Amino acid sequence: MSADVAHELRRKVERERVVARTRSARARILLALGPATSIGGLAWAVVQPWRLTLLHPFGQGFYWLLAEPPLYVVLVGILFRLLIVPGIVADLEEQR
């Protein structure tokens, strides 16, 4: 790795840290919604384990093993954080 590439990577990381420190409260809340939703889904799975037919699949078809509401909540939280929030936060930062 050449020194120019290393210096450019270092500058990029430093810029990202500065942007992360100067994010607005709206952006921070949006960034926290996905993980909070996923944690809620995990909590739901722990509080009501009988909803997870993966734990006791006897007599259940593939659909019932796939259709797990707590797992859907976790999946939606992850997808929201990875696919939707970056665009919204970028728009919020452009408006500043």
- DSSP states along 12-26: HHHHHHHHHHT--HH
Residue 59 lies in a domain: yes
Across the range 60-86, mean pLDDT stands at 86
Alpha-carbon gap, residue 39 to 33, rounded angstroms: 10
In this predicted structure, the answer to whether residue 2 has a pLDDT above a threshold of 70 is no
Residue 13 lies in a domain: no
Residue 11 lies in a domain: no
Spatial CA neighbour of 68 closest among 55, 84, 78: 55
- Residue 73 CB-half CA count within 13 A: 15
Residue 56 lies in a domain: yes
Residue 45 lies in a domain: yes
pTM (2 d.p.): 0.68
Range of the domain at 73: 24-95
Residue 42 lies in a domain: yes
pLDDT tens per residue across span 25-47: 899 999 999 999 999 999 998 89
* pLDDT value at residue 1: 53
Provide the number of structural domains found in the chain.
Answer: 1
In this predicted structure, the answer to whether residue 75 has a pLDDT above a threshold of 70 is yes
Residue 1 lies in a domain: no
